[in-house]
Structures are given as structure tokens and as C-alpha cells.
Amino acid sequence: MQREQKKFVDERPKSKALFERARKSLLAGVPMNWMVKWAGAFPPFVREAQGAHFFDVDGNRYIDFCLGDTGAMTGHSPFATVKAAEEQMRRGITLMLPGEDAIVVAEELQKRFNLPYWQFALTATDANRFSIRLARQITERRKILVFNWCYHGTVDETFITIQPDGSPGSRPGNIGAPVNPWVTTKVVEFNDVDALEAALHSKDVACVLAEPAMTNVGIVHPAPEYHKALREITRKHGTLLIMDETHTICAGPGGYTRAENLDPDVIVFGKAIGAGIPGAAYGFSQEVADRIVAKHELETCDVGGIGGTLAGNALSLAAMRATLTKVLTKEAFDRMIPLAERWTTGVAKAISDADLPWHVTRLGCRAEYMFGPEPRTGSEAHDAMDFELERFMHLYAMNRGILLTPFHNMALMSPQTENEDVDRHTKVFRDAVKELGG
Ligand SMILES: Cc1ncc(COP(=O)(O)O)c(C=O)c1O
């Protein structure tokens, strides 16, 4: 690790100088606090990115499997989105008035996700927050339910985990929590049908907010029939089901919902929807839409905690229209998913050749290795994490021109990722494992 730390610093004198300068004006030397988490002594400062690659200011080239933690799953600066955004920027960026792009995007989302009505926000966090508020309002219930070790953005209600003694409490690192999250939220393990039934039985839960497969504690797949049970139990108890497809859009053009024929009440989709230009969408079933409209109050609709000044702006919507119709298409997924298959096959072979108790898994064009057997719950996935080992693997990869997400060991394929990028990762992974004595 020391050798790799030194190599990282030695090969990035310009990033180092920028970081030293940045520490005098940016808190901890970074523009957003998560960026301190990169495995090197400082983050590489970026000169430019295009497609599946970027260069840092020292001229080092990287294959980007992080892709802005899904925001750039489209590849960096895809031509069609950039063209549409450039043209829109000359015609007005934000007006607080609609244009035709909003309808085209909503029509496209209807086709993809099979939900009739859509609204827009600037981030997936906001789309989740607004969906939760609406669910609370129409069900007249206070609580929500999430799965242990989920992540849905900076949504206060979701920062809850099951504590070692089995009680619910704040997840580690929950900054400035307004209340202990058990006041607002119930938490159960993913794939635990009995716990879900027990939690919803009291009929005080407005909504379940779920990723259809967990992606933020490593990938945790649903057990066979789990989604059937989740839908039946939520319906039985009058609890709405919100599917957060922000990451699981990697499963295909209509996300996991369409790939597996799910039937949620609400869907949230952010990050890559505008190729990284801020924007997110949330959609509702006819029944939910009718219930929302029945409670709508014209006089106070702008101060009720839903929406935002820049939400649904012309630039976001132009970017979403181009991204959905020209970039994140079925043809793109037909290219991306086999790349992820190639990635997992290569890593699986390296793991088995080294006889390690690790595993690698895949969800559409997203792949991930974990330092343990395949998890069935968030807890099992969390217990398999090893911060030191993770940092070593990430740093070793970065020093050889490969960027994984800074959180767990996740890789995304973009429409512009190539087989040779994947094979380069396989080689570097194999070499890292060898260095560890595997
Ligand atoms: C599943 C999921 N939902 C929502 C979000 C929040 O996205 P944003 O940070 O863009 O608001 C994230 C972020 O990682 C996410 O993984």
C-alpha cells in the first residue's frame, strides 16, 4: 500500500499542486465532501473526459468504470446530448414555463416504465423526497420503510440501519440528523418477507422506498419470488411501492421494473437521465395520480415542499430528451450488457484461479466484486466489506489507468466502453490479486 501511495503521488505532481492550492479555498481541498474518499493521497484532478475515458492534469489516461457514479453511464459528453444542450442554452435555460420537450420526455418514460404521469426534479434525491411527501400526503400515514444498508440520496428518512442489538437507529456517519430516523422510518432486511409483513401490518407505513436490486452496498439481488411478495404485501396493507431506478436503470432501457415486469406505484430515475446534466424524473400510476390531484391546492402548491425553482428547466429537459431518445437506447444496452458479462467472466476466473472466497456479480451493465460469498441481505453485503482491502484494490487500479467507483467495487459499462478496456481491467485485477498472495 505504501509503494502504491508513493507511485500515485510521484506520477501526479500537477494534481498534487492543485490539491495543495485547493486546500486553501475548498473545505478539505475538494468541491464536494465525498471526493475525499478516493484511495490516493488526493483525488486526480481532471483535464478532460470523453466517452469511457478521461485524462488527468498530469496527462495520465484512465478507463472510467466509475462514470460519475452512474451520472455519466451514457459515456462522458455524448454527442447528441451535448448538441441538444448547446442549442437549448442559446434559446433559454430556465423559464418556469413548460416546452414540448417535457411532453416528449414524459411520453418516452411512459413507454419505458408503463406509468402514465411524470414530474421532474433536479436530482434523484429530490425525486425521492418528493415521492415520499406525496405518499405521506395521500395515504395520511407518517412512516416510510427502507431496506437495511440502502442508499437513496441525501434523504433524511433513509439514514437508518438495524443496530447490532436488532433495534433501528442512525446509520454510521449520519450528519446532523434532525431526529433519530426511527421516528420517521422502519427498516428491515432486503429479501426478508416475514419482517416486511410484520413491519407493514400496523398500517402506519405510507410507502416502501426500494431499489429493485440493492446496488449501494454492493449488489444484492432479490431472491426468486421476492418482488411478488413485496408487491402483494404492500398492496394488502395500503402501502405505496416506490421503485428507485436511479442505479438499476443499468438493467435495460426500462430499468429493472421493465426487465422483470414489476408493477410499482411510483418510479424514480435520476443521474444518467440527462447524461449528467442535472435532472431526475418521478412517475405515478393512474391511481396515485388521481389521489394526488384530489389533494392539490392551487393557492399553496408552490410552498408545499414539492418541486423547486430550477426543476423541469428547459436545459434539463432538452438533455433528457436527447439522452433518452438517442443515447440510452435499447441498442446501447445491447452493447453495454455483454461488456459487463465479459468483465464479470474475467474477474470470476481470476478469483477462482487464486482460490479466493470472493465473488463477482452483475446487474445489466453494472458489475461488482465483493470480498465474500453472494449476499442475500444488506447486512451480509456490508459485513463482507473491507475498507483497507478496498482502498488497495482501487489505488492499484488507479495507478494502472483504471477508475472504479470510490464506494465498494463497482464498475459500469458505457455505450463507448470497449472490450480492450474490460480486458485491461481483468489483467490489472489479476495482477493485484497476485500481489496480495492469491
Ligand atoms: C439508488 C439511488 N437513488 C438516489 C440517489 C441520489 O442521487 P443524487 O445524489 O444524484 O441525488 C443515489 C445516489 O447515489 C442512488 O444510488
For every residue of 270-324, DSSP letters joined together read: -GGGGTTSS-EEEEE-HHHHHHHHHT--GGGTTSSS---TTTT-HHHHHHHHHII
d(CA 318, CA 297): 29
Q: Where are the alpha helices (DSSP H) in 37-179?
A: 79-89, 100-113, 124-139
**Is residue 77 within 8 Å of 50, Cβ to Cβ?**
yes
pLDDT at 407: 87
Give the separation between CA 216 and CA 233, rounded to whole angstroms. Answer: 24
In ligand 1, the atom with minimum distance to the C-alpha of 153 is 6
Find out whether 81 and 74 touch, Cβ atoms under 8 Å.
Answer: yes
From 35, 70, 217, 246, mutation site for ligand 1 pocket: most ligand atoms within 8 A of C-beta: 246
Residues with CB under 6 A from ligand 1: 69, 123-125, 128, 151-153, 211, 216, 244, 246-247, 270-271
pTM (global) more than 0.85 = yes
Q: Point out the ligand 1 atom lying closest to the alpha carbon of residue 211.
A: 1
Q: How far is the CA of 368 from the centre of ligand 1 (A)?
A: 18
Q: Which residue, 83, 384, 395, 376, is CA-closest to 213? A: 376
pLDDT of the chain, 438 residues: tens digit per residue: 999 999 999 999 999 999 999 999 999 999 999 999 999 999 999 999 999 999 999 999 999 999 999 999 999 999 999 999 999 999 999 999 999 999 999 999 999 999 999 999 999 999 999 999 999 999 999 999 999 999 999 999 999 999 999 999 999 999 999 999 999 999 999 999 999 999 999 999 999 999 999 999 999 999 999 999 999 999 999 999 999 999 999 999 999 999 999 999 999 999 999 999 999 999 999 999 999 999 989 999 999 999 999 999 999 999 999 999 999 999 999 999 999 999 999 999 999 999 999 999 999 999 999 999 999 999 999 999 999 999 999 999 999 999 999 989 999 999 999 999 999 999 999 999 999 986
Nearest partner of 262 among 217, 225, 312, judged by Cα: 225
Phi/psi for 64 (5° steps) reads: -100, 105
SS3 217: coil
Closest-CA residue, ligand 1 atom 13, reads 153
CA distance 181 to 173: 13
**What is the rounded distance in angstroms from the CA atom of residue 29 to the CA atom of residue 108?**
41
CA of 216, closest atom in ligand 1: 16
Shortest-distance Cα residue to atom 3 of ligand 1: 152
| 232 CA to centre of ligand 1 in angstroms | 26
Please name the helix (run of DSSP H) or strand (run of DSSP E) that holds residue 186, with its range, or none: strand 185-188
Q: How close is the Cα of 127 to the center of ligand 1, in Å?
A: 10
End-to-end CA distance of the chain: 16
Look up residue 395 and give its three cell numbers. Answer: 489505488
Going by alpha carbons, the residue nearest to atom 6 of ligand 1 is 153
Can you count the helices (H) and strands (E) in the chain?
Answer: 14, 16
With contact defined as beta carbons under 8 Å apart, do 340 and 361 qualify? Answer: no
Rounded CA separation 296/137 (Å): 10
Q: What is the atom index within ligand 1 of the atom nearest the CA of 247?
A: 1
| Cα 227–Cα 230–Cα 232 angle in degrees, nearest 5 | 110
Q: 3-class SS at 402?
A: strand
* Nearest-angstrom CA–CA distance, 416 and 95: 34
Q: How far apart are CA 280 and CA 122, in angstroms?
A: 5
Asked if residue 320 lies in contact with residue 336, where contact means CB atoms within 8 angstroms, the answer is: no
What distance in Å separates the CA atoms of residue 70 and residue 58, rounded to the nearest whole number? 25
Spacing of C-alpha 345 from chain mean position:
23
> How many A from CA of 14 to the centre of ligand 1?
31
Q: Is 242 helix (H, G, I), strand (E, B) or coil?
A: strand
Number of the ligand 1 atom closest to the C-alpha atom of 271: 10
Nearest CA to ligand 1 atom 9: 153
- Residue from 213, 418, 223 nearest 335 by CA: 418
Residues 6+ apart with CB under 8 A from 181: 156, 157, 158, 159, 160, 168, 169, 170, 174
Please report, for residues 178, 302, 361, the alpha-carbon distance to residue 373 in angstroms, rounded to integers and kept in the order given. Answer: 36, 49, 10
**Do residues 59 and 12 lie in contact, with contact meaning Cβ atoms separated by under 8 Å?**
no
Q: Output the pLDDT for position 438.
A: 67
φ, ψ dihedrals at 26, nearest 5°: -115, 135
**Ligand 1 atom, smallest distance to 69 CA:** 14
